[in-house]
Structure 1
Amino acid sequence: MKIVIDDKIPYIKGALEPFAEIVYLPGNKTTPEIVKDADVLITRTRTKCNRRLLEGSKVRFIATATIGFDHIDAEFCKQAGIEWTNAPGCNSGSVNQYIASALFSYSIKKEFDLKDKTIGIVGAGHVGSKVAALCKTVGMRVLLNDPPRARREGADKFVSLSKIQEEADIITFHVPLNRFGEDATYHMVNQDFLNNLKHPLLINSCRGEVFDTVAVKEAINKKLISGYIADCWENEPDIDTELLNLADYATPHIAGYSKDGKANGTKMSVQSVSRFFNLGIDNWEPAGVELPENRVIETDGYQRSESSILAEAVIRTYDIKNDDNALRESPRLFEKLRGDYPVRREFGTYTLKLKNTEDDIKQKLTKLGFIIATNEISP
């Protein structure tokens, strides 16, 4: 058996070598010649798994170590008898951390309290649900829009997109890219959408093509929206530098790039290959996941607001401004910034040592995922 693996997928080396010939190479070097005699592909979103790549190959199974799967031509795979799987929810905690940092950083920059705001969350899957819990913990009013879930579960928990347009101060999108059908999301943020808003902050950390770049630039220039935060872009890696300059925060599609998220994606991919071929490693776990330099955060809450304490804890685990600065300095290095991304771990990796901090704030930090040290810092 031959398995071709994207060489940017971490923690996977050694997992499948006992069972197959393994070829590691960059996603953009995965050619029809390479995969012709391969049985399995383990990929990321940069590898277009379509007819051009797969026709005439021996490939039987594709695992993408990502939530997104719009790089896989599902119809062709069905015709060709190729099974495939993605890694749903693998990096939801990472994107949640990114959104938390974005929200707190933006609120500090614009000098407002998140508690006073209404957020509209479009797409309430793995990521959107975590973001909703985050925002409720912070004290925001949350409006959820998810038509597929509303049809399955009933409309009680959900609102229309028009209600979000009318009432939300912030709108964040967590939808897959669907180009066709009842739940199409391609360019759902277009001129019509942007002309009917309450002057909100917009955040795109799902897929670049969900937003019409031209329409968004026009909306910013016409002040139809109060701010824009972009992690995903049309035509990556050749992003629109005009939109980059207009955005409040701009990052190179790294919202889901925590080490936790990457390890989860790798784990789910290896386990899916094991199940498909009965390899007997269905419970495989990645080893050697890097830790941050400083896992203990000390905070003094004396005469500080709740939002200030929450913001400090979040931003000390991940500061969106660092990625924003890196992209602005070198937009042409979009792919390199992704490929060489530094260690980022999620909230649950960190222990907070708190001083002069109320119990209800500690409870909120625990809900966000932090570990609270049992002993406070000595005065």
Structure 2
Amino acid sequence: MIRVLADQNMVGLDLLPSEGLEIRTLPGRSISAADLEEVDALWVRSITPVTQELVQKSQLRFVGTATAGVEHVDQDALAANGIRFAAAPGANANSVVEYVLAALAELQEPWERLEAGDALGIVGHGHVGRLLAQVAGDLGWHVKVYDPWLAAEDAEVDWASLQDILDCRVISLHCSLHQQSPWPSYHLIDAEALAALDNRQWLINAARGAVIDNRALLKHLQSESPVNCVLDVWEGEPECDWSLLAMPSLKLASAHIAGYSWEAKWNATKMLYEHLRKMQLVETPIQIDENTVADLAPVQETGCSAARELIQQRYTIAEDNLLFRNLAKLPAAERAAGFDALRREYRKREELRGTRLPFVGGDASPPLRRMARALGVALA
């Protein structure tokens, strides 16, 4: 019997085969060394620091994080204690991309500017950044990508500089968080970078909070011509600089839920279970019928409005914005707990990709077909 301790916010644990597997859950922030007694595998999310102190006296054989980012895991400590490790890269990529598209569609103006030919600048070309660049390209948008780590290895790609990105109409951050030289991402968007931006631009952060210097951001948003912002992540989570919410240029705000679609969470759970299978700690394959295709309601075929309708049928980002802003109305001592509660009790949000759009009235136009293909929607 393999005994797993998992973050209670993971989904689909009840869908995993029960043969040879025993799972119990705890709040991610509360997991301690004492909880690891007689535990073989630990499954965490980004809120659980996995340190030498946590694992050194355990009998853990495997630690998995249901996230793409791994900055909360001391991999050297795991290796020193003979503990195998795996993350879930790409599990939430489409969820984050749909969050970005939902933000652009909700705000409308940046989407229309991209449709008109202005550039989308993407920082980071991992699973999320790569998928966003692909979708944006399929939509016909002009895309620039900055990733100096990959640029150093692949000179054949036309990589953008950071200054190129700062000149873009819309800037979307999707890099990992680290302080490694020569290109640290910690406070990549600092006071100097922010000074290069103005109110004609849009800055989206769905990576990690500290990629933007939040103190410098607050000062910038108090300036005469601040950039328009969409923030899903915050420095010091769950303690945030709540004064940012009072800034008119902060257009949308949410509680680190960009990657929180049901499909993304289930993908991560499946990936960690499959690592147990590779280690031969469990044998039974997952047997779940995932071929059900949801139908969308027909949309009016008018470019941007059609895309907005499609996205908002599956995900209304304004709801997350309202829920997050309501936290600022709580007493200061209760806001951090409220932040965690929003994530823990997050509604079932289903992705647009993989759905089906009934089309009536002859052949769909090339723009509608292009948009459906880009968003992963089948025309039926």
TM-score clears 0.5 = yes
Contact residue 176 and residue 208 of structure 2 kept, 8 A: yes
Match of 1:99?
A: 100
- Does the CA contact (< 8 Å) of 2:21 and 2:282 recur in 1? no
What is the letter of the counterpart of residue 353 of structure 2? G
Equivalent residues of 2:138, 2:370 under 8 A apart: no
**Which of structure 1's runs of 4+ aligned residues deviate more than 4 A?**
285-289
Instruction: Check the 8 A contact 2:123/2:147 in 1, yes or no.
Output: yes
Distance 1:163 1:155, change over 3 A: farther
Question: Which structure 2 residues correspond to residues 14-163 of structure 1 after superposition, within 5 A?
Answer: 15=16, 17-108=18-109, 112-116=112-116, 117-163=118-164
Q: Deviations over 1:266-291 (max 9, x none)?
A: 0101001121235224x5355689x9
CA deviation vs aligned residue, 1:148-170 (integer Å, no higher than 9, x gap): 221222253311112212x2011
Normalized against structure 2, the TM-score is what? Answer: 0.89
Q: CA deviation at 1:244?
A: 2.3
SS in structure 2 at match of 1:299: coil
Alignment correspondent of 2:374: 367
Instruction: Flag the 1:115–1:78 CA change in 2: closer, same or farther, 3 A.
Output: same
User: How far apart, in 2, do the equivalents of 1:262 and 1:100 lie?
Assistant: 19
Matches within 5 A, 1:267-278: 267-278=270-281
Aligned position for 1:284: 286
| Identity across matched positions, percent | 28
Establish whether residue 256 from structure 1 lines up as the match of residue 259 from structure 2.
yes
RMSD: 2.3
Cα 1:330–1:295 shift into 2, 3 Å: farther
- One-letter code aligned to 1:169: R
Query: Compared with structure 1, are the counterparts of its residues 69 and 223 closer, same or farther at alpha carbon in structure 2 (3 Å cutoff)?
Result: farther
Q: Does 1:174 align with 2:174?
A: yes
Mapped to 2, the partners of 1:323 and 1:251 lie a distance apart of 6
Opposite residue 105 of structure 2, the aligned amino acid is F
Tell me which residue corresponds to 1:322. 319
Aligned to 1:190: 190
User: Equivalent residue for 2:332?
Assistant: none
Contact 1:113 1:307 in 2 (8 A): no
Count of matched residue pairs: 365
Q: 1:295 to 1:238 in 2, by over 3 A?
A: farther
- Report if the CA contact (8 A) 1:266-1:286 is conserved: no
**Residue among 307, 310, 320 paired with 1:310:** 307
How has the CA–CA distance of structure 1 residues 286 and 173 changed in structure 2, closer, same or farther, with 3 Å as cutoff? farther
- Which shows bigger deviation, 215-224 or 97-106? 215-224
Q: Is the 8 A contact 2:46 2:72 kept in 1?
A: yes
Counterpart amino acid of residue 171 in structure 2 = I
Contact 1:16 1:22 in 2 (8 A): no
**Distance in 2 of aligned mates of 1:287 and 1:33:** 38
Q: Using the alignment, how far apart are the partners of 2:211 and 2:82 within structure 1?
A: 30
The CA distance in 2 between the partners of 1:51 and 1:20, in whole Å, is: 26
| CA drift at 1:121 | 0.1
Write the letter of the residue equivalent to 2:259.
Answer: G
- Matched AA of 2:104: L
Q: Which position in structure 2 is the counterpart of 1:235? A: 236
Letter of the 2:379 counterpart: I
Asked whether the equivalents of residues 9 and 262 of structure 1 are also in contact (C-alpha less than 8 Å), the reply is: yes
Instruction: List alignment gaps of at least 5 residues for structure 1.
Output: 374-379
Cα drift, residue 223 of structure 1: 4.2
Contact 1:202–1:227 (8 Å) recurs in 2? yes
Please give the alpha-carbon distance, in whole angstroms, between the structure 2 residues aligned to 1:30 and 1:287: 33
**CA shift at 1:31, angstroms?**
1.1
Instruction: Tell me, in whole angstroms, the C-alpha distance in 1 between the residues paired with 2:26 and 2:206.
Output: 27
AA at the equivalent of 1:236: E
Deviations 1:88-134 (A, max 9, x none): 000101001100011122224x7944212211100011101111122
Instruction: Give the structure-1-normalised TM-score.
Output: 0.89
- CA pair 312-87 structure 1, distance change in 2 beyond 3 A: same
CA contact (8 A) 2:104 2:111 kept: no
Pairing 1:2–2:7 present: no
Using the TM superposition, give the Cα deviation of residue 347 of structure 1 relative to its aligned residue in structure 2, in angstroms: 1.5
Cα gap change, 1:111 to 1:64, in 2 (>3 Å): closer
Per-residue CA distance 1:208-257 (angstroms, 9 max, x = gap): 11111111111111145430000001111122111123210001111001
- Unmatched segments (≥5 aa) in structure 2: 329-334
Secondary structure of the 2:160 match is coil
